[in-house]
Structure formats: C-alpha cells, structure tokens
Amino acid sequence: MVQSASQQDVLEIVGRSSLSGHVKIGGAKNAALVLMAGALLCPDVCRLRNVPNLADVTKMADILSTLGIRIQHHEDILDIDAREISTAQAPYELVSQLRASFFAIGPLLARYGVAEMPLPGGCAIGARPVDLHVRGLQSLGAEVTIESGVVHAAIPGGRRLQGAAIHFDYPSVGATETLMMAATLADGETTLHNAAQEPEVVDLANFCRAMGARITGAGTNTIRIVGVEKLHGVEYSVVPDRIEAGTFLLAGAITRSEVSLSPVVPEHLTAVIAKLREVGCTVVSDTPNSLRVLKADRLTGVDIQTQPYPGFPTDLQSPFMSLLSICEGSSVVEETVFENRLQHVAELQRMGANIRVKGHVAVIEGVPLLSGAPVEATDLRASAALAIAGLAADGTTILQISVTWIAAMTILSVRCRHLALALPVRP
C-alpha cells in the first residue's frame, strides 16, 4: 500500500467507490505513548495490550531504552521493565522527533529525583509550549531551569516532590498528564484545577490506579492525587482510539456508505456524532462498544468550532472539513486549539473544494464533487483528511505523505481496502 522513498511516500487513491464492512479500531496512540511514560513510575514490569503498531510507539520505546528501560514488543503487546533506570538524561536526537516523549519528565523526576529532557518536537501544527509543565513541577517543589534547549529538573535535598494545588491557565492535556504522574509519588495531596478532561487523561489515571496510585476526579476539571510510597506492576489494555474511529465514520459518511466499527467508546465521540447527525448522517450504536454509520441520501453544511474535550476535537477538524466540502450549502469551521491547523485547505482546494480562510476561520461552500489531484499532507491528520477526500473524489488522487506517518497511513489504507476499496501504490 505504501512504497518507501527517501523523504516521502505515495498513496494512490481511486475514488468514487462504496465502502462496506467492519473496521477493528486499534489502541489510541496518544494514550499508549503516555502510558509508556507512566510505566517509569513503577519499579516493576508492566504489560500494555492493544498498543498500536506506529512509528511514534517505536520512537518512544527507543527513548525509554536510552534511560535503561527494557522493552519487548510483540504484535500489540508491550512489556516495559522499569526496575532499573540507568540515566535521567534523554537524548535530544530522539526527543526532538516526538513531542509525547517530554511527558516522561514527570515520572522520571518523581521516581529518580532528577530529569534532563530536551524541549520536544512534533507535527508542525503550531506552538505547544511546555511552560505549564514547568510551572507545575516547580509548584510540586522541583527546581527547574531551561538551558540550551534542555529542561533540567531536580528535587532539592534528595527529598520527594510535595503535593500542591495547581491551577492551569489552559486545560492542557500534556501538562495534566505530566503533573498527574509526578504527583502519584509526591508527599501529600495534589489538586489539579482546570485540568484536561480528555479520555486519554482518564486512561492514564486508570492505568496509574491499577498500579496502586490514589487518583480521583479524572474526566472532570478537578483531579486529586494523594501520593503513595511505591507503585507495582500491572497488565493493562490501551483505550480504543477515538480519532481513528471518527476518521472511519467520516470515511463512511463522505462515500455515502455503511461502515461499522469496534471496539469503541461511543461517549468519547459525542460531539463528532452530533455533528454527523446534523450533517444528515445516521449513526447508531448496535452494542455498547460499537458504532455504525449508514448511507446518507443528502448532506448539508454545519458550523464547527474546535474545543478541548468534551468539545469537538481538533484532531478531526481536517477530516470533517473534507466531508463539509461536498455538503450542500455553507459551513464555517473555526480552529481554536492550534494556529496552524488549516494548512490542508490549500490541498483540498486543489481537489476542487470551495474554501476561503481568514485567520483561524474557514468558510466552506459545498461543491457537488471533488476531483482527484496530486496533493501533499502537512501533518498526520491532514493526511487522513486528504485520504478520505480522495475516497469520494472523481478520478485518482496522488497523496504524498511524510515517512513519519507511514505506519498510520498504511493502517488507514489497508483497512479501507478491507472495506472493498483499492488503494494501489504508484510505481
């Protein structure tokens, strides 16, 4: 499905074919990565199940390995042996490629007493500063400095972190996760106010609780953590990926097909399902852990504003815009989370979409049909958006993707082919 090249790879998507069948949804990437970091808290072996086979997971495993952690990966099972941590210095060349690796600073500091973590990298979708992480760790009693692009954190006097009341200026998922992990081994009680409520935060809290942590309130804007002396090993399954599930719902909607998927947690997609129904799609849940989108006869435009969970997810903004580009009437999409997450618009315009952008707002006038064209993705979610746009377009779409997103897009293409759609690779 994907042929490797030096810097980019190509998907050839033949459009205007119906999809039909069932898709198995994998574990959430964003949950799996932070659970891998959370395993540093435990001087034992943890087994993670339902881990997606993605490049980011491999990168995170490489980073943990440099700290002395032993990693074994077989299919969707990941065994993490964190009984010994040999160094608290994470390598720049690896951390700079993966933003989620920075989350290890919290558990590393709590367990080891010191941590040196280069400032992170990631997709070019906007600034994602770590100031909330830094200020939070300082509130817990750590001494934190940033020198030459490296964050140095230490607990003075060989003591433990100290519980504290922390208020976030913004409900940052990363900062919430970092400080929740750090607080599990702190002395006393920590309260996180204006905390992120994303399902991935809840999954991390459940994982930590399974290891023996005392955490309440995850999934609300106030999380309380009472520190414990030590955590223990556990076997845990990663929550299903709500963004992957939403992408396949949109693939069914844009091709006017019937597609079912499981396992999912329908409540994690409440905002997306509501907008799909407003567009004119029928989405049903036949079982508690499944969803099915039915063939729609008429699709009409809607307005969307991205927000932190439980609002409409920014990660599905670009795929949903692909659907809106062929809906009757006008739609308005406002991106409030990442300032650079409208870069896919120019590529959709290549395919015939009628979209105008001013600042962080896009106005879409629906067209009857998109046309296949050569397009290039700017980030992972834009790749998915252009792929599903190609499914509905007339003709062939040639999608160039970064090597960073090969595994994720291979999964998307293979599962679409399983739904009776051919996506051959251009020779």
- Identify the H or E element spanning 196: none
In three-state secondary structure terms, 333 is strand
Q: Are 188 and 139 in contact (CB under 8 A)?
A: no
Burial class of residue 334, CB neighbours in 10 A (0-12, 13-18, 19+): middle
Query: How distant is the alpha carbon of residue 165 from its chain centre?
Result: 27
Half-sphere exposure of residue 100: CA atoms within 13 angstroms, side-chain side:
20
Is 123 in the active site? yes
C-alpha–C-alpha distance, residues 234 and 237, integer Å? 10
Which 8-state DSSP code applies to residue 197?
A: -
The string of DSSP letters for 39-55 reads: GGG-SSEEEEES----H
By C-alpha distance, which of 417, 404, 402, 245 is closest to 316?
245
Distances (CA, A) of 308 to 239, 315, 384, 413: 18, 10, 20, 28
Which residues lie across from 328 on neighbouring strands? 300
Residue 223 near residue 195 (C-beta atoms within 8 A) = yes
List residues bridging with 298 in a β-sheet: none
Instruction: Please give the Cα distance from 392 to 370 (Å, whole number).
Output: 7
What is the C-alpha separation between 319 and 158, in angstroms, rounded? Answer: 49
Catalytic residue among 42, 46, 123, 208: 123
Task: List active site positions.
Answer: 123
